[in-house]
Chains A and B, each alone.
Chain A
Amino acid sequence: MDELSQAFTALADPTRRAIVARLSEGPASFTELATPFDMSRPAVVKHIKALEKAGLIDRAGTKARPVYSLNAAPMRAPRDWLNGYAEFWEGSLDRLDAYVREIVDAKGGKA
């Protein structure tokens, strides 16, 4: 799966989005990330691992005391983001072109 799709999939969960939102304010420890959620520790660990796997967050510090931070790289998908819109428009304009030609042909060659 391409990077952006992985990021999308990882963020298709409100808990993970909340974790990323928190990290957008700065690095945090596991406890700081886990505290706002009413869920078990292993559940939070699972979410954090999913975000790490998608490359959205980095882990530093020690194994006992990890510090998580946001990894900007996957979001550096400007081409993907812009291409999303470019693709939308290019696809639409292709269809507009076909539709225009349909109309013109129906009118006997002149719009």
Chain B
Amino acid sequence: MKDGQILEHPTADSLIIKRWFPAPPSLLYRLWTEPEHLARWWGPVGLNPDRVVTDRRPGGAWEIDLTGRDGAVYRLRGRYLELEEGARVVSTWAWMGADGTPGVESRYDAAFVAEGDGARLTLTHTGLPADQAASHGQGWTACLDSLDAEVSATRS
């Protein structure tokens, strides 16, 4: 765990991360929504955001293509559900399969609140592919859809 970062799994299909940054909410909001900034940090080390497009209005679509070390491209797509200037981004999230169809759609909510000399991010990501071990059928289909998209992405 990083300094000041909290990671929780309130349910089997969601996570919450809380982390403080030495920047005001307005700056965090810009870094989170503007392509020239997103290209500088989106994705973990090893996944490079080579292409970033954002249509910053409610209902607007965004696209981020990430290139892995082996050259594989992972395409992430989403739609802004809510945009509160300087304060909050709520969006859908889906990985694209190699055939161009989206995988399971989840949703994240990033809120920036002033705290001390900076701001705290509260990131909630819900609707994630969950543990469906208890049941077959529908649970498996959901798992397979996600795996399908993920595996297809690794092969693209």
What residues make up the interface of A, taking CB atoms closer than 8 Å to B? 7-8, 11-12, 17, 20-21, 24-26, 70, 72-73, 75-78, 81-82, 85-101, 103-104, 111
Contacts and interface: CB of A to CB of B under 8 A. Distances in A.
B118 to A, nearest CB: 7
Interface stretch (B18-26, B52-60, B82-90): B18-26
A99 B154 contact: no
Interface residues of B, number: 49
Contact of A103 (B23, B125, B150): B23
A95 B24 CA distance: 17
A73 to B, nearest CB: 7
Interface of B: 2, 5, 7, 9, 12, 15, 17, 19, 21-24, 27-28, 31, 37, 40-47, 106, 118, 121, 123, 125, 128-134, 136-137, 140-141, 143-144, 146-148, 150-151, 154-155
B22 A90 contact: no
A95 B125 CA distance: 19
Given A8-B150, A82-B15, A88-B43, A26 B136 contact: yes
B41 A111 contact: no
